[in-house]
A = this chain, B = another copy of it.
């Protein structure tokens, strides 16, 4: 008997975990056992996956034993502690957190862009990029393959759900305060109305935009802005790529948007860019300015691909394109990309992985 690989979903009860369970129920089923793991507080809850009610178990060494692939959908510090434990027990870890993204011994993978990278994982860990990087990379990676990327200037329009379920509840509460009022017309009136609890944000988000996300790094940059630069360089294999980004939160629930100015080595045309984007996996080209067609978060939310519109050649630079991209930060930006990586690993280690484990080989697939 050949058994399919066993999967653990660590962080099954969170916002990204919920989307992951949907995806696992919808995608072609490559998994044997699926174990749902969460904090001790959530243990004992039952969640539906592949149509079956499955009991959530508490994160522990036992919970990570006998697993072929472990999806980590948890905060950085939880991944930092537990992912190496899972890897030591033989699982290939697919980590959605920032804990290992810049570790030189951990590949950082966007399956549409650098699928080969998943196979070289000396620590038994594969990292999935930040949601903002993921919103952009399927499109930018495809254009790079044709034109040769030299520089990116990026501005983000980031949804709140990437900051967690409490952040969504906070924005909804703020919207209820301002709706039906004349607020937003006087200095500070929204701030006074919504009160002091701003959650993870530095200012109110209802009727506002907030140019900060992440922690403070040198030179006034935020960790997320520098993260986009570092991650894009690593994924595209371009250590000298010039990247400048300004990250801004906007009052949108889910789906990040980015305005991208991309300068290439070679001359670009909108026609050729359209051909590339229309035929790239994971990308939907939605760009007909005469018909008023371009992506917006309200239409993209809940869908898998990166949507691209407003494709223009820079007026003063025949080697630069300006684009507007939208990607669901909970799907491609988190759960979907991690699921795609895990499925690629499942395909690589094959349906017999469960048997090999069952025989007690002690050889994790990550050591291959």
State whether A186 touches B301 (Cβ < 8 A): yes
Cα–Cα distance between A175 and B261 once the two chains are bound (Å): 31
User: A315 and B252 in contact (CB under 8 A), knowing A185-B302, A203-B296?
Assistant: no
State whether B184 touches A298 (Cβ < 8 A): yes
Which among A22-30, A36-44, A240-248 touches the partner chain? Answer: A240-248
State whether B259 touches A155 (Cβ < 8 A): yes
Cα–Cα distance between A310 and B248 once the two chains are bound (Å): 11
For A178, list chain B residues within 8 Å (CB): 175, 179
Number of chain A residues close to chain B: CB under 8 A: 75
Selected from B219, B221, B254, the residue in CB contact (under 8 A) with A184 is: B254
For A34, list chain B residues within 8 Å (CB): none
State whether A257 touches B209 (Cβ < 8 A): yes
For A180, list chain B residues within 8 Å (CB): 172, 175-176, 179
Selected from B216, B270, B310, the residue in CB contact (under 8 A) with A211 is: B310
State whether B211 touches A316 (Cβ < 8 A): no
Name the residue on B nearest A300 (C-beta).
Answer: B187
State whether B252 touches A207 (Cβ < 8 A): yes
Selected from B153, B208, B297, B315, the residue in CB contact (under 8 A) with A208 is: B297
Cα–Cα distance between A219 and B179 once the two chains are bound (Å): 38
Integer count of this chain's copies in the complex: 2
Cα–Cα distance between A179 and B243 once the two chains are bound (Å): 37
**For residues 207 through 252 of chain A, which have their beta carbon under 8 Å from a beta carbon of chain B?**
207-212, 216, 219-221, 226, 229, 240-244, 246, 248, 250-252
* Residue interface mask A281-312, B partner, CB < 8 A = 1: 00000010110101111111111000001111
- Chain B: minimal CB distance from A176 (Å): 5
- Chain B: minimal CB distance from A334 (Å): 15
**For residues 311 through 333 of chain A, which have their beta carbon under 8 Å from a beta carbon of chain B?**
311-317, 320, 322, 324
Name the residue on B nearest A323 (C-beta).
Answer: B246
State whether B300 touches A253 (Cβ < 8 A): no
State whether A187 touches B303 (Cβ < 8 A): yes
Cα–Cα distance between A155 and B292 once the two chains are bound (Å): 19
Name the residue on B nearest A219 (C-beta).
Answer: B312
For A240, list chain B residues within 8 Å (CB): 316
Q: Is A100 part of the contact surface with B, judged by Cβ < 8 Å? A: no
State whether B296 touches A209 (Cβ < 8 A): yes
State whether A244 touches B315 (Cβ < 8 A): yes
Name the residue on B nearest A193 (C-beta).
Answer: B298
Q: List 24 A-B contacts (CB under 8 A).
A: A157-B157, A175-B178, A184-B253, A184-B254, A185-B253, A185-B254, A185-B301, A187-B302, A208-B297, A209-B296, A209-B297, A211-B295, A211-B296, A212-B292, A219-B270, A220-B270, A241-B316, A242-B315, A242-B317, A244-B314, A246-B310, A246-B322, A248-B257, A259-B259
Give the interface of A toward B (CB within 8 A): 151, 153, 155, 157, 172, 175-176, 178-180, 184-191, 202-204, 207-212, 216, 219-221, 226, 229, 240-244, 246, 248, 250-254, 257, 259, 261, 270, 287, 289-290, 292, 294-303, 309-317, 320, 322, 324
